């Protein structure tokens, strides 16, 4: 956590866990499953993609190749238009066009994310 608070983590890793000042609220209700239209998400530049390449290759070879998906439980994510600026989501949409979000409908909290092979 020390690296998180000091912004020493790779920004894509930090992007999965959001803003600590906006904690989740309430309980999980009805869940929506949405495929992200990667054409609507701003792509990262080559430098940003290269900085995370080694981690992505590990995730791809360990999870996508073996299990057919990567399951992530992001925190502090909300299903709003602002989410398309999240660097972690932007990265995933740069490297994959099969990204799915699971959203708690009443609260708009993102409770899960899948990347499919």
DSSP string, 88-113: HHHHHHHH-S-EEEEEETTTTEEEEE
Strands 109-116 and 99-104: antiparallel
Residue 38 has a pLDDT of 93
Nearest to 74, CA basis, from 19, 9, 2: 19
Regarding predicted confidence, which is higher, 11 or 41? 41
Condensed to tens digits (0 to 9), the pLDDT of residues 14-28 reads: 777 666 555 555 555
Identify the three-state secondary structure at position 10. coil
| Predicted pLDDT at 10 | 75
| pLDDT tens readout for residues 49-76 | 999 999 999 999 988 888 899 999 999 9
Collect all residues with Cβ–Cβ distance below 8 Å to 50 and sequence separation of at least 6: none
pTM above 0.85, yes or no: no
Give residue-wise pLDDT tens across range 85-107. 999 999 999 999 999 999 999 89
Residue range(s) defining the domain that contains residue 99: 2-116
In this prediction, residue 85 carries a pLDDT of 95
Question: 17 vs 109, which has greater pLDDT?
Answer: 109
- Domains contained in the chain, number: 1
């Amino acid at each position: 956590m020390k690296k998180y608070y000091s912004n020493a983590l790779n920004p894509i890793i930090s992007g999965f866990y959001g803003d600590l000042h906006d904690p989740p609220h309430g309980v999980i209700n009805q869940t929506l499953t949405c495929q992200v239209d990667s054409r609507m998400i701003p792509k990262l530049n080559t430098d940003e993609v290269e900085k995370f390449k080694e981690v992505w290759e590990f995730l791809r070879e360990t999870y996508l190749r073996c299990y057919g998906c990567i399951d992530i439980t992001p925190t502090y994510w909300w299903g709003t238009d602002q989410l398309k600026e999240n660097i972690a989501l932007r990265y995933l949409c740069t490297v994959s066009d099969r990204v799915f979000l699971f959203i708690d409908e009443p609260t708009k909290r993102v409770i899960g994310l899948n990347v499919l092979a």
